Amino acid sequence: MNNNEKAIPTAELVMAPLGGVGEIGMNCTLYGHGLPDDYSWIMVDLGLTFASPREPGIEVILPDIRFAENQGKNLKAIILTHAHEDHYGAIPDLWESLNVPIYATAFTAAMLRAKLEREGIEDSVPIIEMEIGSAYEIGPFTVEVVQMAHSIPEPVGLAIKTQSGTLFHTGDWKLDPDPISGPPTDENRLKALGQEGVDVLVCDSTNATREGTSISEIDVAKTLKALVGQAKRRVVVTTFASNVARIKSIAEAAYAADRYVVLAGRALMRVVGIAKETGYIPEDYTFLSDEDFQHLPAKDCLVMATGSQGEGRAAIARIAEGSHPKIKLSKDDTVIFSSRTIPGNEKSVGYVINLLAAQDLNIITESQAPVHVTGHPRRGELEQLYNWLQPNTLIPVHGEELHLQSHKAFAKQQGIEHVALVRNGSMASVLPFEPQIIDEIPAGRLYRDGYFILEDDRAVRNRRKLSTVGCLSVSLVINNQGKIIGEPLWHEEGLPFDEEGAELDDLVTTAINSVFKSVPPKHRKELAKLKEALRRSVRGSIYDAWGKKALVNIHLHQV
């Protein structure tokens, strides 16, 4: 090539995660194809994550999708891998900013429509139902929908084919010969894709630290049937509301023991309705409401309850606290936690379990019996998928840093040539050449706070501080000469001073007086500086007396 000639740009496939990498939840990944700076895009999943105690007052956390918004008509579609909140839960809040069609299988589409209906926007969002095994032309992409197994009906992987090569995005998956709520992972098609050539595998890392393979959902069903059959009194089982296979197994265990099934929790009732509509739970399976609970003899009753993660207003927490209006338990009743505690929820789950244990109930968790199975692949399953797809490159996603690093190391041991870590906010060119980071894009967190979507966590940080150090508000009036008029007024929340307030009154008065002594009258006209000096003085005075820095607000009025 002549030195004066410019290299001809090459079309490339790029990947830009906005969530779900380096964390559990909030999955959202962009794939773009085209010439540099002129990509067409698809978004795979648009999920949320639930707030922790470090985000007081926040219901859920959403991905920052500014970059996707800015693509305008170049963003062609959102494709959903399955109907778990961490993969589709942000759509009601964020879809309007994107305004593109959503591709989803029949069950996922039904779950999404129910969610949109609760928000009153079900008629606004165009949903295209995908058939598993079919392929769809979306801009420069051909997207083939491949059957996977997980803990919900119709989980799919996506074979994303472009002129630059083929990438396989697994979504959440596992290998299970009998997942109950649908077919197993499509081994034959995955092997065929491997023969056709898979250049890049973007793969679930949640269980990459764990050796071996998981037990089957059918094994859990057998355990539940035995436990329910042995119980002498009431049985309560709590599990994830979206786990249709588990719901079905629990119901069948109850019917085998001649028990009625009571549903406690709106999410369970909603999912059961959708599962019946889509054929995943037989129409003749009968479920009662909590209104029927009090009329059932203890030995004839099984309650299926929401709240396996210790959610404060869910059914099992209210039952444990004795505040559920319909359901009360008695000594020797059995409670089964048919779930695994998600990291971060240990304290809330433990709180509920201890409340139940204090009532002399029989508590069974996965540490005592195989009453739960993961929905994600262990190392034995990862190895099997590598062998089927034979990818040149692996990109671990859906996991915290430990999971990603463990997945990387394991893939290297298995002989995968290239393993690339692509974090949230990084744009990587992944095909046709070896993956490399080519840009950084906006990526962060949005906070749903009541009716608002907050773009920063200032309010959250202030609430967090309020919860630990309290707040003092001081109001005072000065005249045009900068002299105080009357006595300062103050109000505190959460400070550990006596109820009469004499000590605090002295602290506030002394701090204010020290400022007015040190600031000459001519400088008191600079109200912003005077206000800040008062705030610092009052806060410092409280710190000297208490050892903690309270939040201090100064309301300064000039007349």
**Exposure b/e, 439-465, CB count within 10 A at least 16 = b:** eebebebbbbbeeeebeebebbeebbe
Neighbours of 482 (CB within 10 A): 18
At 278-312, the pLDDT tens digits run 999 999 999 999 999 999 999 999 999 999 999 88
Where is 106: in which H helix or E strand?
A: helix 106-119
Residue ranges, comma separated, of all CATH 3.60.15.10 domains in the chain are 12-212+374-454
518 near 538, Cβ under 8 Å?
no
The pLDDT score that the predictor gives to residue 499 is 65
Neighbours of 154 (CB within 10 A): 28
| pTM score, whole prediction | 0.91
> Which residues in 244-397 belong to E strands, given as ranges?
260-264, 288-289, 301-305, 334-337, 362-364, 393-397
Pick left, alpha or beta for residue 76 (phi over 0 → left; psi -120 to 50 → alpha; otherwise beta): alpha
Query: Does residue 454 sit in helix, strand or coil?
Result: strand
Concatenated DSSP letters of 243-273: -HHHHHHHHHHHHHTT-EEEEESHHHHHHHH
Rounded to the nearest integer, the mean pLDDT of the chain is 94
What CA–CA distance (Å, rounded) separates 203 from 389?
12
At 353-394, the pLDDT tens digits run 999 999 999 999 999 999 999 999 999 999 999 999 999 999
85 near 20, Cβ under 8 Å?
no
What CA–CA distance (Å, rounded) separates 341 from 501?
45
- Which tokens go with 333? 């009743």
The H-assigned helical ranges of 166-265 are 187-196, 217-230, 244-256
Residue ranges, comma separated, of all CATH 3.40.50.10710 domains in the chain are 217-364
159 near 143, Cβ under 8 Å?
yes
Burial class (CB in 10 A: 0-12, 13-18, 19+), 481: exposed
Residue ranges, comma separated, of all CATH 3.10.20.580 domains in the chain are 470-558
What's the CATH number for 12-212+374-454? 3.60.15.10
The pLDDT score that the predictor gives to residue 559 is 85
The pLDDT score that the predictor gives to residue 480 is 86
The pLDDT score that the predictor gives to residue 22 is 94
CB neighbours of 475 closer than 8 A, spacing ≥ 6?
A: 488, 489, 490, 554, 555, 557
144 near 151, Cβ under 8 Å?
no
| Domain covering 470-558: architecture | Roll (3.10)
382 near 347, Cβ under 8 Å?
no
Dihedral pair phi/psi, residue 533, rounded to 5°: -65, -40
Dihedral pair phi/psi, residue 386, rounded to 5°: -55, -45
**Which fold is adopted by the domain 217-364?**
Rossmann fold (3.40.50)
What CA–CA distance (Å, rounded) separates 281 from 246?
11
- With a cut of 50, list the residues of the chain below it in pLDDT: 1, 4-5
**Exposure b/e, 514-539, CB count within 10 A at least 16 = b:** bbbeebeeeebeeeeebeebbbebbb
Dihedral pair phi/psi, residue 107, rounded to 5°: -65, -45
- What residues form DSSP beta bridges with 35? 38
What CA–CA distance (Å, rounded) separates 358 from 354?
6
197 near 392, Cβ under 8 Å?
no
